[in-house]
Amino acid sequence: MPSNNEHQSKSLVQLGAGLAIFGLVCPWFWLSLFSGNSPSDTWVYGLHSGFFIILGLILLGKGWLDLKSTRASKGINKSDPGQ
């Protein structure tokens, strides 16, 4: 059974991945880009999308490193077929 720290780390990875994907497929940016809105609007939506992508990647990386260190402290190696 996963520990509380492991569960929190997995949740952080999922949150980070979700934010990064939302930033990547942000409908406002793509609609603005393809509908020919003013360049300033497209830049604003692009900056917001980029912010979500970067924030998501930071959270994903932090969760992954926390999960890795939690498993290392327990002696669990995910690549070991015996585990």
Residue 5 lies in a domain: no
pLDDT at 3: 78
- Domain residue limits at 26: 10-71
Per-residue pLDDT tens for 13-67? Answer: 999 999 999 999 999 999 999 998 899 999 999 999 999 999 999 999 999 999 9
Model-level pTM? 0.80
User: What's the structural domain count of the chain?
Assistant: 1
Q: Give the sign of the dihedral formed by CA 76, CA 8, CA 55, CA 21.
A: positive
Q: Give the sign of the dihedral formed by CA 73, CA 78, CA 82, CA 83.
A: positive
Residue 1 lies in a domain: no
18: nearest Cα among 56, 67, 65, 66: 56
55: nearest Cα among 17, 29, 1, 5: 17
Residue 76 has pLDDT above 80, yes or no: no
Residue 27 lies in a domain: yes
Residue 76 lies in a domain: no
